[in-house]
């Protein structure tokens, strides 16, 4: 495992990249409502990226053994856990959708974040799933500080989620990020406290728990990308990119219209944000 420690210039560049990714989500938020297709969401995201001078990291992305990914973003609806491919199917009232945005700046830095959207009036179960997944992400973020371990993050998320009768997907995880889309370390959303890599200032990685309302078992569809819940239960995901600082953490993927931080969060320090 080779973890790239970012210097101050790298952290500054990542702060910009992640803020731009979050601003793409801000830009599309007013449009994500009943009747829109995920293909239209993809187009709106691509247009927002073009306006800010970034490009999509996902379109054409092709890890070994995968076909090229065809979307500018991932749009995962209802029982789709991750990597949902944009399509011409319209969203309807009661749906939930995760929009996962990764941009690349002209300087070659990657910014990554995702957000859940509730389409119209959703069921109590769907709203609860989205809210608890959001809180779980922040519980993981709150463990981030020098001297802590990646296992502390995973443990906090797993205990909270399973304590509410939900399940954590184990096949996909957070990741280091910088001048590459995916870097070391892998950030599991389950684990044991005091285990795994010890955190140190300059590490940058995503925390992005995927949580199922039913069992944690997954299934891969024939398109080679889309991952769904095997029992067809709802799934939710939130994602922030985090930098480890000398005294704790900094959330890099912030924006003016990001959802409110939970009241239990103590370590978050909102910076002065530039307008979108």
Q: And the tokens for 272?
A: 């002065």
Phi then psi for residue 138, to 5 deg, are -70, -35
**Is residue 16 domain-resident?**
yes
> Each residue of 197-222: pLDDT tens digit?
999 999 999 999 999 999 999 999 99
**Is residue 257 domain-resident?**
no
Indicate if the pLDDT at residue 258 is higher than 70. yes
The answer to pTM > 0.85 is yes
pLDDT at residue 230 in the model: 98
**Is residue 244 domain-resident?**
yes
> Each residue of 120-179: pLDDT tens digit?
999 999 999 999 999 999 999 999 999 999 999 999 999 999 999 999 999 999 999 999
**Is residue 105 domain-resident?**
yes
Full domain range(s) for residue 198: 8-251
Summary mean pLDDT of the chain: 96
Cβ atoms of 176 and 204 closer than 8 Å: yes
pLDDT at residue 275 in the model: 44
- Number of independent structural domains in the chain: 1
Cβ atoms of 75 and 38 closer than 8 Å: yes
pLDDT at residue 11 in the model: 97
Which among 84, 96, 76 is positioned nearest to 33, based on CA atoms? 96
Cβ atoms of 81 and 210 closer than 8 Å: yes
Q: For the domain that residue 130 is a member of, what is the CATH number? A: 3.90.230.10
Counting residues of the chain whose pLDDT is more than 90, the rounded percentage is 97
**Count of C-beta atoms within a 10 Å radius of residue 134:** 21
Q: And the tokens for 57?
A: 């990291």
**Is residue 232 domain-resident?**
yes
At 271, is the pLDDT very low, low, confident or very high (cuts 50, 70, 90)? low
**Is residue 142 domain-resident?**
yes
Counting residues of the chain whose pLDDT is more than 70, the rounded percentage is 98
> Each residue of 24-67: pLDDT tens digit?
999 999 999 999 999 999 999 999 999 999 999 999 999 999 99
Indicate if the pLDDT at residue 276 is higher than 60. no
At 270, is the pLDDT very low, low, confident or very high (cuts 50, 70, 90)? confident
pLDDT at residue 1 in the model: 78
Burial of residue 247, with CB atoms counted within 10 A of its CB: 0-12 exposed, 13-18 middle, 19 or more buried: exposed
Cβ atoms of 91 and 35 closer than 8 Å: yes
Q: And the tokens for 101?
A: 């945005």
At 75, is the pLDDT very low, low, confident or very high (cuts 50, 70, 90)? very high
**Is residue 264 domain-resident?**
no
**Is residue 272 domain-resident?**
no
Burial of residue 29, with CB atoms counted within 10 A of its CB: 0-12 exposed, 13-18 middle, 19 or more buried: middle
Rounded CA-CA distance 155/189 in Å is 7
Indicate if the pLDDT at residue 274 is higher than 90. no
């Amino acid at each position: 495992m080779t973890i790239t420690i970012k210097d101050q210039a790298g952290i500054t560049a990542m702060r910009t990249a992640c803020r731009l990714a979050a601003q793409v989500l801000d830009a599309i938020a007013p449009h994500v409502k009943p009747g829109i297709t995920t293909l239209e969401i993809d187009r709106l995201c691509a247009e927002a990226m073009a306006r800010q001078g970034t490009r999509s990291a996902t379109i054409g992305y092709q890890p070994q053994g995968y076909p090229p990914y065809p979307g500018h973003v991932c749009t995962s609806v209802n029982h789709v856990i991750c990597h949902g491919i944009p399509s011409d199917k319209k969203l309807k009232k009661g749906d939930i959708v995760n929009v996962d945005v990764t941009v690349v700046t002209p300087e070659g830095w990657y910014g990554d974040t995702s957000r859940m959207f509730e389409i119209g009036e959703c069921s109590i179960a769907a709203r609860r799933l989205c809210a608890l997944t959001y809180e779980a992400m922040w519980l993981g973020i709150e463990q981030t500080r020098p001297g802590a371990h990646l296992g502390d993050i995973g443990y906090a998320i797993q205990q909270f989620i399973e304590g509410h009768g939900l399940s954590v997907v184990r096949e996909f995880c957070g990741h280091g990020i910088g001048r590459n889309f995916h870097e070391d370390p892998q950030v599991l959303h389950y684990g044991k406290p005091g285990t795994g890599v010890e955190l140190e200032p300059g590490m940058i990685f995503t925390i992005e728990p995927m949580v199922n309302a039913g069992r944690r078992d997954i299934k891969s569809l024939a398109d080679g990308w889309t991952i769904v819940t095997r029992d067809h239960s709802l799934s939710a995901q939130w994602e922030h990119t985090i930098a480890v600082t000398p005294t704790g953490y900094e959330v890099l993927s912030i924006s003016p219209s990001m959802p409110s931080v939970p009241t239990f969060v103590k370590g978050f320090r909102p910076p002065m944000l530039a307008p979108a």
